[in-house]
């Protein structure tokens, strides 16, 4: 009798759990079961320095790092380090497996960072790390979650993989929008701190595969320049460090652009050959027709300076078929190739993975995208 009653109670609870709405923000409710891979979690800070202030010594430039170890044990030879894009941190907003869990399932030691000055890496250096907004609902809708509604570039009409309507009021969208946080507008000081703390991290954990998203691609490129022996591979999900420029994106027009990254793909010094001491020594010109479907690019002219240190690290970019990046990612590839860096560009559609926007790692077919990254790592160990 007691067993029967308990069994019936468990059955009712099971049905209730199964019927629960666990989408978006609802996923934090007690009845919602986590989909993440079973793992052990540690965290630490690395790098940083003491700076004397009026109130005493403050710590500047430290890097926040989470260490995730698969419960079943590590069976891959090198770790992966996940680096977020601009206006976000090392989190996901849905009750589905994120990239970290996919790589835990593959047996990798996984490290997740919050970049210096961002999220749990927030800086005490309030004067230098000037902050700006991460995103608005309108920017997010037009550029990331529902670009097909704005139709700023023809490929946007292929966008099918966002889990929900992609607009304000949808539970998945609202949960995603809540993850945006301020980021620093002082990219120079952030790059300098990431260069120092990033190489210290790799010195501690050993050669690793760096997986970045969007403007987060700045930092693996700099680490490839500064400590290439510690970067096993540079894997870029929709790299946002377009040479010498940033595209305005879908907030106004598909053809807007602003000057950016005077060192080509970075804001701070990288090693070129022939050597230069100032970015003004690089000469470049706009190449190609500029259309919504395929943007024009800046390429070096005159003396072609080679990125000799960065060229020591294998580089791959992955791009979704419906993302704005499909219209200008060739600029990254062409610039690096001209500078002597062997690259690989994986258009996800060529792998049969279609319909992705800029945040493909959060979309419905993200397990397949993680699988492509895993295959690339296995081929380049």
What is d(CA 79, CA 377) in angstroms, rounded to the nearest whole number?
10
What is the torsional sign of CA 202, 204, 208, 214?
negative
**At residue 6, does pLDDT exceed 90?**
no
- Where are any strands of DSSP class E within 87-188? 110-114, 131-132, 183-184
pLDDT (average), residues 2-19: 44
pLDDT of residue 63: 96
What is the domain partition of the chain in residue ranges? 1-33, 39-379
Could you tell me the pTM of the whole model?
0.92
Which region among 188-202, 228-242, 253-267, 273-287 has the lowest average model confidence (pLDDT)?
Answer: 253-267
Record the tokens describing residue 316, joined without a space: 């791959």
Poorest-pLDDT segment among 23-37, 126-140, 155-169, 342-356? 23-37
Q: Average per-residue pLDDT in the chain?
A: 91
Instruction: With a cut of 90, say whether residue 249 has pLDDT above it.
Output: no
Binned at pLDDT 50, 70 and 90, residue 298 comes out as very high
pLDDT exceeds 80 at position 20: no
Nearest-angstrom CA–CA distance, 301 and 373: 34
How far apart are the C-alpha atoms of 68 and 38, rounded to whole Å? 10
Tell me the torsion sign for CA atoms 26, 162, 370, 310: negative
pLDDT tens sequence across 347-373: 999 999 999 999 999 999 999 999 999
Residue 125 pLDDT greater than 60, yes or no: yes
Assess contact for 356 and 323: CB atoms under 8 A. Answer: yes
When pLDDT is averaged across residues 163-175 and rounded to a whole number, the result is 94
Residue 101 annotated as catalytic: no
- Distance between CA atoms of 30 and 32, rounded to whole angstroms? 6
Residue 114 near residue 49 (C-beta atoms within 8 A): no
Predicted local distance difference test score (pLDDT) of residue 15: 40
pLDDT greater than 90 at residue 25: no
Q: Which residues contact 234 (CB under 8 A, 6 or more apart)?
A: 210, 212, 220, 221, 224, 313, 314, 315, 316
Check pLDDT > 70 for residue 146: yes
Q: What is the pLDDT of residue 41?
A: 98
**pLDDT tens profile 300-321:** 999 999 999 999 999 999 999 9
Q: Which of 89, 101, 135, 214 is catalytic?
A: 214
* Domain 39-379 indexed as CATH 3.40.50.2300: no
Q: What percent of the chain has pLDDT over 90?
A: 80
- Residue 96 binned pLDDT confidence (cut-offs 50, 70, 90): confident
SS3 23: coil
């Amino acid at each position: 009798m007691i067993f029967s009653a308990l069994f019936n109670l468990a059955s009712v609870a099971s049905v209730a759990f199964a019927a629960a709405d666990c989408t978006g923000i609802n996923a934090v409710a007690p009845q919602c079961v986590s989909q993440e891979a079973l793992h052990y979690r540690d965290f630490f800070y690395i790098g940083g320095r003491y700076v004397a202030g009026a109130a005493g010594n403050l710590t500047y430039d430290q890097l926040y790092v989470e260490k995730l170890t698969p419960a079943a044990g590590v069976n891959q030879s090198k770790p992966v380090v996940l680096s977020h894009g601009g206006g976000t941190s090392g989190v996901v907003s849905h009750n589905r497996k994120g990239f970290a869990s996919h790589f835990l399932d593959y047996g990798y030691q996984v490290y997740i960072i919050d970049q210096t000055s961002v999220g749990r890496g927030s800086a005490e250096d309030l004067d230098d790390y000037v902050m700006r907004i991460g995103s608005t609902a309108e920017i997010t809708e037009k550029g990331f979650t529902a670009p097909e509604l704005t139709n700023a570039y023809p490929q946007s009409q292929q966008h099918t993989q966002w889990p929900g309507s992609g607009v304000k009021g949808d539970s998945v969208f609202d949960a995603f929008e809540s993850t945006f946080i301020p980021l620093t507008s002082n990219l120079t000081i952030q790059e300098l701190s990431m260069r120092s703390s990033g190489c210290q991290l790799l010195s501690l954990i050993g050669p690793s595969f760096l997986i970045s998203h969007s403007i987060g691609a700045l930092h693996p490129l700099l680490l490839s320049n500064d400590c290439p022996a510690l970067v096993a591979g540079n894997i870029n999900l929709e790299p946002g460090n377009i040479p010498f420029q940033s595209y305005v994106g879908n907030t106004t027009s598909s053809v807007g652009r602003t000057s950016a990254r005077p060192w080509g793909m970075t804001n701070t010094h990288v090693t070129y050959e022939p050597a230069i001491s100032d970015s003004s020594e690089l000469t470049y010109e706009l190449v190609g027709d500029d259309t919504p479907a395929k943007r024009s690019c800046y390429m070096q002219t005159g003396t072609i300076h080679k990125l000799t240190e960065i060229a020591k690290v294998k580089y791959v970019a992955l791009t979704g078929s419906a993302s704005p990046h499909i219209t200008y990612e060739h600029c990254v590839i062409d610039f690096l190739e001209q500078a002597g860096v062997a690259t690989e560009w994986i258009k996800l559609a060529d792998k049969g993975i279609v319909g992705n926007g800029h945040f493909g790692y959060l979309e419905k077919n993200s397990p397949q995208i993680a699988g492509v990254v895993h295959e690339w790592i296995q081929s380049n160990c």
